[in-house]
Chain A
Amino acid sequence: MESDEDLIAAYLNGDEDAFTRLVERHLKSVYSFTLRFVGSQSDAQDIVQESFFKTWKNLKRYSSQSASFKTWLMHIARNTAIDFLRKRKHIPFSEFDNEEGNSVFDNLPDETPLAEELLSNVQDVKDVEWAISQLSPSYREVLLLYYESDLTFEEVAGVLEASVNTVKSRHRRAVIALRKLLLHRK
């Protein structure tokens, strides 16, 4: 199977269908992340179209040495989603966030089970989906990029333009917050 970089090279050399294959390959990932990040199907569709448009427009500037294509694409999608929400003046902060946008669960000390262990104890998918939707955007995006988009911590750091340690720290706090939300739900 052709790699993303092969498809990009083919497109830049005149193969018009190469970009179509790239879209086909990554559409589901980008849509899933965007939908769970913004919480609205119609908004997610608009953001996905805008994200791929920006990707196409800037394809010549992409360099595989700085990041994988998927990381670069998710970075564009994430920034597009944030810009979209800012324009709508609808930042999806949860009711559990304080004025600075930090979760009130941030400062509660806790021993965090691994996310896999945590989620294996949950019976209802809807509870998890609700809990994720209640997280602050910075926690939500880390969980979505790491678990749903299946990126490594290094790749998530690339998408968020943060250090790997910051991402790991945010992931840990996100899992703590998720656990608290799930307990609160019960």
Chain B
Amino acid sequence: MTSKRNMAFFTEVEPPEGLFKAVLARIALARRRAARIKLAALGTVILVSGAALVPAVSYAVQEFYTSGFYDYLSLFFSDSSVAFSHWQEISLSLAESLPSLAVLLLVGFAAAFLWSLRRAVRNAGAAFNPIRLA
């Protein structure tokens, strides 16, 4: 059966030169704009999480000392034979004295900082590299 398109009156029209590149350029510009917006958002997360890390570290260190966690942990280094012979009780004490909120804050802010930094580095190319058309 003859293809319908073989009917001469319905042959496709050749697009003008430049239309192909115009289509790609439009998409590339939109992609770059989206990458820049994403980069700006990631930059904000980096700044906020980075700034929050400083007091989070300070708070965690303070809590480690005041909670008694540091004292229990130091037993393994100062008197290891006793510490290992009572390792179950000392482990329980370590778990109870762990400053969980401080650890959570420290890990949370550090993870946010590192994750957003990694995404920003990956995104930077798309945001600032010259547009390459086919």
A residues whose Cβ falls under 8 Å from a Cβ of B: 17, 19-20, 23-24, 27-29, 31-32, 35-36, 41, 45, 48-49, 52-53, 56-57, 115-116, 119, 122, 125, 128-129, 143-144, 146-148, 150
Contacts A24-B20, A36-B13; is A125 near B7 (CB within 8 Å)? no
Q: On chain B, which size bracket covers the interface?
A: 20 to 34
Contact of A53 among B2, B4, B16, B30 (CB under 8 A): B30
The A interface, classified by DSSP as helix, strand, loop or mixed, is helix
Task: Decide if B77 is an interface residue (CB 8 Å cutoff).
Answer: no
Contacts A48-B23, A150-B4; is A41 near B12 (CB within 8 Å)? no
Are the CB atoms of A20 and B19 closer together than 8 Å? Answer: no
Are the CB atoms of B27 and A31 closer together than 8 Å? Answer: no
Give the Cβ gap from A154 to chain B, nearest Cβ, in Å: 14
Task: Decide if B86 is an interface residue (CB 8 Å cutoff).
Answer: no
Are the CB atoms of A52 and B23 closer together than 8 Å? Answer: yes
B residues whose Cβ falls under 8 Å from a Cβ of A: 2-5, 7-16, 19-20, 22-24, 26-27, 30, 134
The complex places the Cα of A129 from the Cα of B24 at a distance, in Å, of: 30
B residues less than 8 Å from A49 (CB atoms): 19, 22-23, 26
Are the CB atoms of B24 and A23 closer together than 8 Å? Answer: yes
A-B contact pairs, 8 of them (CB 8 A): A24-B20, A27-B23, A28-B14, A28-B15, A45-B16, A52-B26, A146-B4, A148-B12
Are the CB atoms of A53 and B15 closer together than 8 Å? Answer: no
For residue A53, which residue of chain B has the nearest CB? Answer: B26
Known: A23-B23, A28-B15. 7 other contacts (CB 8 A): A17-B134, A19-B27, A31-B15, A45-B22, A52-B26, A57-B30, A115-B7
